Amino acid sequence: MNSTILNTFLVDVKNTQSFWALQEKSGEDWVVLDSINFENTEVMPLWSNQELAQKHCTDEWEQYVPIKITLSDWLEFWLEDLSEDGVIVGINWQEESSQDEENEYLELDLAEFSQALAEIETL
């Protein structure tokens, strides 16, 4: 199931050369939370399209909006900063998912995720 989530994400991202994260409306903070699968690790959820990201702008994240991140910006700016902070990424999290089903919360190491992005980046 994990590979299906990642493959779907990569197919969508390859077409647009971008993906989405949630940023506070003030422009200061991004959604980063405790990992579901790894102790003492923070995860930044990412979505392959604006609609999926927008679905999560409710409840505790109602002050956030989806912001587009291009592949080139991710590889040039984001990767180093998140790596220094020890943050991993969550791929296309679904709000309907049960907390019990870890497969619904695909979390990837930055190196693995960024390598997959580099392979689909078009210059």
DSSP letter string, the chain: -HHHHHHHHHHHHHHHTEEEEEEETTSS-B--EE-SSSTT-EEEEEBSSHHHHHTT-SGGGTTEEEEEEEHHHIIIIIHHHHHHHTEEEEES--TTS-TT-GGGSEEE-HHHHHHHHHHH---
Contact 38, 105 (CB under 8 A): no
Q: Cα-atom radius of gyration of the chain, to the nearest Å?
A: 13
pLDDT in tens, 61-102: 999 999 999 999 999 999 999 999 999 999 998 765 444 444
CA nearest to 88, candidates 48, 15, 39: 39
Q: How many domains does the chain have?
A: 1
Would you say residue 103 has pLDDT above 60? Answer: no
pLDDT band at 28 (very low <50, low <70, confident <90, very high): confident
Q: What whole-number distance in Å separates Cα of residue 10 and Cα of residue 115?
A: 11
Q: How much is the pLDDT for 107? A: 93
Domain range for 81:
2-120
| CATH number of the domain residue 14 falls in | 3.40.1350.90
Name which of 36, 26, 29 is nearest 89 in CA terms.
Answer: 36
46 or 1: which carries more pLDDT confidence? 46
Per-residue pLDDT averaged across 19-46, rounded? Answer: 94
Q: Under a CB-based contact definition with an 8 Å cutoff, are residues 92 and 5 in contact?
A: yes
Give the per-residue pLDDT at 100: 46
pLDDT at 93: 84
Q: What is the pTM of this model?
A: 0.88
Given this model, what pLDDT does residue 14 score? 95
Q: What is the mean pLDDT of residues 27-36?
A: 92
